[in-house]
Structure 1
Amino acid sequence: MNRRILNIAIPNIVSNITIPLLGLVDLALMGHLGKVDFIGAIALGGTIFNFLYWGFAFLRMGTTGITAQAFGARNLHESILSLSRALFVALLGSIFIIVLQKPIADLSFWIINSEVSVEHIAKSYYYIRVWAAPATIGLYAFSGWFIGMQNAKAPMIIAVVSNIINISLSYYFVFELNMEAQGVALGTLIAQYCGLFLAIYFVLRYYSRLFKYWSIKGMIKIKELKYFVVVNKDIFIRTLCIIFVFTFFTTESANTNKNILAVNSLLLQFLFIFSYFMDGFAFAAEALVGKYIGAKNNKHFEKVIRLLFIWGTVISILFTIAYAFGGNSMLSLLTNAASTIADAQAYLIWIILLPLLSFTSFLMDGIFIGATASAYMRKTMMAATLLIFIPLYYFLSGFLGNHALWIAMLGFMLARGIFQAVYYKKAVLVRFE
């Protein structure tokens, strides 16, 4: 069973780690241009796209769970139909974003209300990268489907290839063509479409035999379509809560001053590195839990749950040690601004505590997604946001300042895992009754 877990987890870790690596490179490129404004601008632009694109992350998660259960039940019709439904939603969503790009930008920058110099750079970044919407959202659907089909290698290859292209082009555009933030955006735009075309190639190359099971009639079956919509609706609301938390975090950072915005933007990369690493095992949970629920194999289900938490504990301890002894070195890699590094060191304690307090939430997310227990994901995420994150911040911010923001973030991550553990029997184990 460990081999099955690692066969899915390791390729996803490789592909996931390229995502924070890309964020690190983007910040490093801007951090070495000599002005803190560039770091803040990339952070603000990234926040807007996190809001837009994470809102469609339900396509990856919902598609994984549904596809994995169909795979476990050997339902080939539903396996290919789940992909077509996800891609249709991705197409509609990307058209919506492109058509409304200016109102979205105006509203976003009005809400964030950053300094004029930072906002000007962020807008130049936004109006280029927004055209990557069809590719970015489409890749959510493809990635979820590949994982549900127990194929972790295809998303890994797509992520690695597209991010190598992204990093290479961004470096070239920024330092060779002096395009600054626009160069980073253009590199991302081109790389995302390269990834999309590669995903289409993999489907045509390795899964063309499934097309004979596809039909318009099957795609619009009321029962399956309703199930697809309900699952993704709940995951969408759950994702909105995460978007709110991270948007609130960045907005409050920007409202403080541009130095705190730069500090928190750098420190968030530590969270992203750990989260994308842990998501490799969460994806393994999605695929294997969904498969064993679809196959009604309770014995293998219980074994994979036990092993996943052993892996999660070991990895969180290793990250805690790495952050405790290597945090300052990582900051130096991200920026050469001595004052920003000095300010960030005051908040490193929260980064050190993060892995142990949050790993359960990542694994439980994977388990709930595999079980398509989307209603309980929505409930627990809303509770963690409304009952923990917001009250903690406003209660502590008056006398702890930026520390309150980090305490609220850690409380939010811890609460997610606790709340899901409380609902585990009712939400997941019921699938075997």
Structure 2
Amino acid sequence: MFNKIDKQILKIALPSIISNITIPLLGLIDIAIVGHMGNVVYIGAVSVGSMIFNLIYWLFTFLRMGTSGLTSQSLGQRNLSEVTSVLLRSFTIAQGLALAIILTQQPLRQLLIFFIAPKADVMPYVDTYFNIVVWGAPAVLGINSLTGWFVGMQNTRIPMAVSIIQNVTNIVASLSLVYGLHMKIEGVATGTVIAQYAGLLTALFLLRKHYTRLIPYYQRNKVFIKVGILKFFSINKDIFLRTLCLVFTNLYFTSTGARLGTVILSANAVIMQLYLLFSYIMDGFAYAGEALGGRLYGAHNVRGFRKMVRRLFGWTLVLTAAYTLLYIVGSMDFIKLLTDEEPVLQATRNYIYWAWVVPAAGAAAFIWDGIFIGTTATKGMLISAFFSTAGFLAICLLTKPIIGNHGLWLAMIAYLALRGIIQTFIYLKSEKYKFNV
């Protein structure tokens, strides 16, 4: 039977899981539409363009994470004045960063294209896609900020609704522009931007509908108070640097696999989809750690906090076992849904067992990330990410020359496991200090 904490965890986790599952649909919809335009360069252009914006916006995930932790703690302290201040502070900073992206769009585009190095034939279409989609930055960063605030307020249903509306709008807008108005890459890009602003307007509408009761707690002079700004940027600096470590690891994994050949690159890419499937579920429980952990921590509810941590890891144990069994039994059947290229399938069979240990290696890091965000213990996240990345790089450099792609996967599994192990030690060391007992 589920106890009270379990019900609270699932209330937050399940809508978050649905939201996570819908996120990849935005990119898949665009690929599906351009895939029927009769020219392969359109697919390449959208793929490169999407990669550029994924890299940009990934670096700004601190807006969601930092806002979530600060909001949930303020809620636990029943400090509703600070709850409203965090919302306005975060959203204003998000819009300032979006403006910076728009103002620096050309050098930013050139820098990222230099690193990605797409083929010359897709470049004109990449430019077209980028020059349109970049104007969605205020919407994307605004949604990040609002999502973090909603999660901190223990409400993941609104972000779920925003994700669903974004996807429906993207389908309708892109299909209408491409097939109704006979636009090409411009139609897909414009449809994406329309969907992004539809998501932002939905979030703002639901914010007004459900949280007007907080207006009396608004204190203008507290929104940009120095101590609040310094705390916001201190927390988000750690998250930003931690994200850089994650970006580096993923880019290095991909680029190193590419140097081993196209078949190995493709095999690694399809195996990595199994990790993404696991991450969609675990992120939902990480959100529960953010929301509940921050609120209980803010309320100094030591007993409730520790019980929540135990129950989260109970769920993690069950999900890890289920996913491991599922991957051992059916991972190759799933891979065959993604590709029917025999060389890729053969290569995948040689490395698929690395995917079997991904759930066990990576599960703890998801939960600790959520708990550390909720308690704003972001320094611990940065430390674990830094040393795990260093471990990944060392193992890769030592083993890849000897065992090839197996060495690359060994390094990735070690990286995932190290993050969870280091965060466990940090938690055990600092728990007594955090709660003053």
TM-score (norm 2): 0.89
CA distance in 2, matches of 1:261, 1:31: 21
Aligned to 1:237: 241
Aligned to 2:194: 190
Q: Secondary structure at the match of 1:392?
A: helix
Verify: 1:145 aligned to 2:149, yes or no: yes
Aligned to 1:16: 20
Aligned to 1:393: 396
Which amino acid letter does the alignment assign opposite residue 222 of structure 2? G
How far has the Cα of 1:45 moved from its partner? 3.5
Q: What is the CA deviation profile of residues 127-171 of structure 1, one whole-angstrom value per residue up to 9, with x for unaligned ones?
A: 333222111111110000001011111111111221233355556
Partner residue of 1:405 out of 405, 408, 413: 408
Q: What is the CA deviation profile of residues 227-259 of structure 1, one whole-angstrom value per residue up to 9, with x for unaligned ones?
A: 112111111111121122223333344555555
Which amino acid letter does the alignment assign opposite residue 387 of structure 2? A
Partner residue of 1:275 out of 272, 279, 287: 279
Which amino acid letter does the alignment assign opposite residue 392 of structure 1? I
Q: Secondary structure at the match of 2:357?
A: helix
CA distance in 1, matches of 2:429, 2:245: 22
Q: What is the CA deviation profile of residues 55-108 of structure 1, one whole-angstrom value per residue up to 9, with x for unaligned ones?
A: 111111111111001101110000011011111111111111122222112111
How far has the Cα of 1:425 moved from its partner? 2.8
Verify: 1:417 aligned to 2:420, yes or no: yes
Q: What is the CA deviation profile of residues 344-394 of structure 1, one whole-angstrom value per residue up to 9, with x for unaligned ones?
A: 4443222222111100000010111111101111111111112x1211222
What aligned pairs does 1:362-401 form with structure 2 within 5 A after superposition?
362-386=366-390, 388-401=391-404
CA distance in 1, matches of 2:170, 2:337: 19
Q: Secondary structure at the match of 2:376?
A: coil
Q: Which moved more, 1:403-412 or 1:364-373?
A: 403-412
Instruction: Number of aligned residue pairs: give it.
Output: 432
What aligned pairs does 1:265-414 form with structure 2 within 5 A after superposition?
265-335=269-339, 337-386=341-390, 388-414=391-417
Verify: 1:432 aligned to 2:435, yes or no: yes
Q: Secondary structure at the match of 1:279?
A: helix
Q: What is the CA deviation profile of residues 278-324 of structure 1, one whole-angstrom value per residue up to 9, with x for unaligned ones?
A: 01000001111111111111111111111100111111222223333
Partner residue of 1:226 out of 227, 230, 249: 230
Does the CA contact (< 8 Å) of 1:44 and 1:250 recur in 2?
Answer: no
Does the CA contact (< 8 Å) of 1:114 and 1:255 recur in 2?
Answer: no
What residue ranges of structure 1 are gaps of 5+ in the alignment? Answer: none
Does the CA contact (< 8 Å) of 1:9 and 1:284 recur in 2?
Answer: yes
Partner residue of 1:75 out of 66, 76, 79: 79
What aligned pairs does 1:149-228 form with structure 2 within 5 A after superposition?
149-167=153-171, 169=173, 184-228=188-232
Does the CA contact (< 8 Å) of 1:31 and 1:335 recur in 2?
Answer: no
TM-score (norm 1): 0.90
What residue ranges of structure 2 are gaps of 5+ in the alignment? Answer: none
Q: Which moved more, 1:335-344 or 1:311-320?
A: 335-344
Does the CA contact (< 8 Å) of 1:31 and 1:38 recur in 2?
Answer: yes
Distance 1:404 1:176, change over 3 A: farther
What aligned pairs does 1:33-48 form with structure 2 within 5 A after superposition?
43-48=47-52
RMSD between aligned alpha carbons?
2.8
CA distance in 1, matches of 2:136, 2:362: 31
